[in-house]
């Protein structure tokens, strides 16, 4: 007696296809697993590169922090009152005498008066006025 088998649809036939005794579904599954392994490798390599970049940036931030600390120390040294006083004495500078100080009401009286600016006037003669009148265009009203 022969056994009766139900007719197979397209999906069942896909699972039955074989190549050298290996089903196509198994080959496709193996390729997908290999693709996933490769993508995980690429993701890990990218993460390692980013980790290196992050550590370089952290090192730069640390170096810049040290430079900021050194610059603040240099500013503090340069702004020392004793140092500034010695520099001002060597440049011939001195504090303003108390008797030379003025209040703000008297500032207008001691302000320098600006020199007047010269005014340049070009001479106009009767001849230049007549020449300008002669060069003026003659309109239709002037012809009558």
Encoding tokens for residue 120? 């340049």
Residue bearing tokens 């007549």: 130
CB atoms within 10 A of CB 92: 6
CA 133 from chain centre, in angstroms, equals 61
Give the percent of the chain with pLDDT over 70: 77
- Rounded to an integer, what distance in angstroms lies between the CA atom of residue 56 and that of residue 117? 64
Report which DSSP code applies to 104.
G
Structure-model confidence comparison of residues 96 and 80, the more confident one: 80
74-94: average pLDDT: 90
Encoding tokens for residue 24? 């196509």
pLDDT confidence tier of residue 132, bands split at 50, 70 and 90: low
pLDDT confidence tier of residue 95, bands split at 50, 70 and 90: confident
- 124 has pLDDT over 70: no
Across 3-17, 23-37, 45-59, least confident range: 3-17
Average pLDDT of the chain to the nearest whole number: 82
pLDDT confidence tier of residue 144, bands split at 50, 70 and 90: very low
What is the tally of helices (H) and strands (E) in the chain?
6, 2
């Amino acid at each position: 007696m022969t056994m009766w088998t139900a007719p197979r649809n397209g999906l069942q036939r896909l699972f039955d296809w074989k190549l050298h005794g290996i089903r196509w579904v198994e080959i496709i599954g193996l390729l997908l697993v290999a693709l996933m392994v490769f993508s995980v490798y690429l993701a890990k390599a990218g993460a390692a590169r980013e980790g290196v970049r992050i550590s370089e940036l952290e090192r730069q931030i640390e170096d810049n922090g040290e430079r900021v600390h050194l610059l603040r120390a240099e500013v503090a040294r340069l702004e020392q009152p004793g140092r500034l006083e010695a520099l001002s004495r060597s440049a011939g500078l001195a504090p303003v005498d108390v008797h030379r100080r003025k209040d703000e009401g008297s500032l207008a009286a001691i302000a320098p008066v600006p020199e007047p600016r010269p005014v340049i006037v070009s001479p106009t003669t009767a001849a230049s006025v007549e020449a300008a009148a002669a060069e003026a265009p003659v309109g239709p009203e002037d012809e009558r």
